[in-house]
Structure 1
Amino acid sequence: MGKILIIRGGALGDFILTLPAVAALRQALPPETLIEILGYEPFTSVAKACGLADNARSIEYGPLAGFFHPDAQLDPGLKNFFAGFSLIISYLHDPSGVFQTNVTQCSKALLLQGPHRPVETQPLIPAAKQLAEPLGKIGIYLESNYVNLWPKNLPERENSGISNLARKAPRVALHPGSGSPRKNWSWESWLEVVKGIQKVHPKMELLVTSGEAEMERIEKFYELLSLSSIPFQPLANQSLAVAAKKIGECDLYLGNDSGISHLAAATGVPAIVLFGPSEPKVWAPQNPGTVILQSPDKTMAGIESAAVLQNALVLLQNEILPSC
């Protein structure tokens, strides 16, 4: 098979959930097969860093919009671009089929249409499995509902040669936000958990990550931590490769249902991810070592701090002994 193009829009979590399908392609096809992703640059850089994609191109390239209009004058460069592939898998929302029609006019590639968004209908199927369904048409099936983005080609760990066991004091990463306020646990609840961990591990190192979704609010959380005399290191608006590296160096990750939580789980770090309105059987990371805590009433306020703290201490006990 010649070159393969995967077209993926959506948010970070959607992208990470599509990577098991990319990994299945990579594993099933000859090593010389080139895989390219047309997507958002911050996301595609992760796929390239871990070796799942050979090349990437920005989906935000202006002339691409013409492919969504019937009878449009298509960009010659993009026509040549699409013509260079033998297989194209698109996850774009294309209900009228205009994009697919325009692509097939300039490319002889086999074009497979994947789901724009996984569904939550019964029976509940993990999103990664739903997103991999188009591969069945070419005889490739998903063997795993998750990917491991660490440590293949991501930057090296920076533990200064000190093992987790020798350090004794745990490193904890916390991403207290998400792309939706409905998916956010309260700052006060996260603070209660952090205090509980610090009580058992006084030398705990806390990394607080944030992105664009938290820019206007994260300072308030910093203030709460400072008022509680909890030392922390902020990590704001860094590249996803840097965020993955820093989180992957930690002993525990804590977060809401968010794209960063999917990224964290994919690094292999033990993780606790909180779910409220979303269906975790569909949307939760499937990575081993990831604990999913779902609110009984589908609201984030329904999650008890004691349950989160208990699970956090158990995971840390497995990572660093004895307590310090």
Structure 2
Amino acid sequence: MSGPSRILVVRLSALGDVLLATPAVRALAKTFPDARIDWLVEEPYLPLVAANPYARPVAYRKRGEHQGIRGLLALRRTLVIEGYDLVVDLQDKPKARLFHVAGRTIAWRKRTPRQALLSLVGQERPLTRAHAVDLYLEALAPLGVVPDGRSLDLIVTAEMEARARLVLPEGRIVGLAPGARWATKRWAPERFAQLTVALAGRGLRPVLLGGRGDAEAFAAVRASLPFEVPDTATLDVGGLAGAIARCSLVVAGDSGPSHIAAALGTPLVTLFGPTSPKRWGPLSPRADVVRAPVECSPCTNHGGASCPLGHLDCMERLEVAQVLAAAGRWVG
């Protein structure tokens, strides 16, 4: 029996999740070298896939032509016309099921039925059985796909590098990413500021890493800084990757910039609090994880607006000296 000739991978978002799916896409391509693989991804994350040698990006423009149910159905019709014979759904969301447009679908399941039920009634526990990369690869086992390692794929193009140069200073750059989608994953901004001052004292040029959505986090750090620091808020995801490629070190929470750094092999220190490094930790030999010894951590899969116990000790007990010591391994 011949393998599939047209494959659609569905992993729409977010930044880190798209990168964590790249080992599965690579393994899929190497198992079916004659197949054409398209990757449906939200438009802001297209730069992460644009130069991927194993898949062709297909844009889901949810704030443009694919907005609303009519837009989704129009996109579905376009995908049906493509004639895929296999869909690999790595999203596990109801929306993604609209794109099951082939005779066969392999779908990753984030939770067991029991875990899904507990989540619905507010009793979700952190999922720590395996890393997200390994779980994506496990989902492909019914296809006979053999994993090709766990390294992430991200190619920084000359255009990405050029955009990054518009905002970066000269010299040895340390990138600091104080933002995260969920408040409980953010280290205190005054501590990020203290770390910034300490690293600048070692001759590094600090840059705040993130996007437009991190403006509040940037402002909070700047409020405790005695000098000006540039940021990457005007750059798209591709420009952010170009900036991280130029860094001598990145310090980040459990967020997208940490996965970009891991994919590029940029030296990295990742600060973990409520989430699990067993599930989301950076997959790079040039990365260190810093955690506080708190019994209640991890307590969540993605973070939250507030600590369920009301104290956030997992982040509050991360000391500047502890993070600086980890950074010193890479930048002296």
TM normalised by structure 2 equals 0.77
2:328 to 313, 316, 323: 313
Matching of residues 82-161 of structure 1 within 5 Å = 82-83=80-81, 84-93=83-92, 100=97, 107-108=102-103, 110-116=104-110, 124-151=129-156, 153=157, 155=159
* Cα separation, 2, equivalents of 1:116 and 1:59: 24
The answer (yes or no) to whether the contact 2:87–2:102 under 8 Å persists in 1 is no
Does the alignment pair 1:4 with 2:10?
A: no
Unpaired segments ≥5 residues, structure 2: 116-124, 163-169, 298-313
Change (3 A) 1:271 1:29: same
Aligned mates of 2:16, 2:271 — CA distance in 1: 14
Q: Does the CA-based 8 Å contact 1:8-1:38 persist in structure 2? A: yes
Query: Shift of the alpha carbon at 1:234?
Result: 1.6
Could you tell me whether the CA contact under 8 Å between 1:38 and 1:59 is conserved in 2? Answer: no
Q: 1:281 aligns with which of 269, 272, 278?
A: 278
Structure 2 residue aligned with 1:301: 316
TM-score by length of 1: 0.79
Residue 266 (structure 2) pairs with residue 263 (structure 1): no
Shift, 1:123, TM fit = 6.5
- State yes or no: 1:291 paired with 2:285: no
Letter in 2 for 1:18: A
The one-letter code sitting in structure 2 at the alignment partner of 1:111 is T
Q: What percent of counterpart residues are identical?
A: 24
Give 1:199 shift.
2.5
- The 1:254/1:121 distance shift into structure 2, 3 A limit, reads closer
Which runs of no fewer than 5 residues in structure 1 stay unpaired? 69-73, 159-166, 318-324
**What pairs with 1:240-255 in structure 2 (closer than 5 Å)?**
240-255=237-252
CA distance in 1, matches of 2:88, 2:327: 39
C-alpha displacement at 1:113, in angstroms?
0.8
Query: 1:320 is matched with which residue?
Result: none
Q: Which residue of 1 aligns with 2:310?
A: none
**CA contact 1:274–1:293 (8 Å) conserved in 2:** yes
In 1, are the aligned partners of 2:189 and 2:217 still within 8 Å (CA)? no
Task: Show the 5 A alignment for 1:33-52.
Answer: 33-52=35-54
Counterpart check, 1:20 vs 2:23: yes
1:308 to partner: Cα distance: 0.6
Matched, 1:196 2:198: yes
Per-residue displacement from partner, 1:117-155 (whole Å, max 9, x unpaired)?
A: 79876762111111222211111132322314245x464
Change (3 A) 1:128 1:154: farther
Give the secondary structure class of the aligned counterpart of 2:53: coil
**SS of residue paired to 2:247:** coil
Name 1:234's counterpart in structure 2: 231
Q: Is the alpha carbon distance of 1:21 and 1:247 closer, same or farther for their aligned partners in structure 2, counting shifts above 3 Å?
A: same
SS in 2 for 1:234: coil
Instruction: Name 1:206's counterpart in structure 2.
Output: 206
Distance 1:136 1:66, change over 3 A: farther
Looking at structure 2, the residues matched to 262 and 113 of structure 1 have their Cα atoms a distance apart, in angstroms, of 23
Measured in 1, the distance between the counterparts of 2:161 and 2:216 equals 30
Please report the RMSD computed on the Cα atoms of aligned residues, expressed in angstroms.
3.0
Shift of 1:238: 1.4
| Cα distance in 1 for residues equivalent to 2:241 and 2:276 | 25
Change (3 A) 1:59 1:37: farther
The answer to whether the Cα contact below 8 Å between 1:126 and 1:145 also exists between their aligned partners in 2 is: no
Q: Determine the C-alpha separation between the residues in 2 that align with 1:53 and 1:139.
A: 19
How far is the alpha carbon of 1:67 from its aligned partner? Answer: 11
| Shift in CA distance, 82/285, structure 1 to aligned 2, threshold 3 Å | farther
Q: Distance in 1 between matches of 2:180 and 2:126?
A: 24
1:290 deviates by: 1.0
Kept after mapping to 1: 8 A contact 2:76/2:99: no
- Please point out which of 170, 173, 176 is paired with 1:174: 176
SS at 1:193 equivalent: helix
Deviation, structure 1 residue 65: 3.8
- Distance verdict in 2 for CA 1:19–1:117, change over 3 Å: farther
Distance 1:175 1:103, change over 3 A: closer
For residues 49-88 of structure 1, give each alpha carbon's deviation from its aligned partner in whole angstroms, at most 9, with x where no partner exists: 23342131206254884799xxxxx65x633523511211
Structure 1 residues 207 and 117: CA distance shift in structure 2, 3 A: farther
Query: Aligned pair in 2 of structure 1 residues 39, 314: CA closer, same or farther (>3 Å)?
Result: same
What is the distance in 2 between the residues matched to 1:189 and 1:88?
45
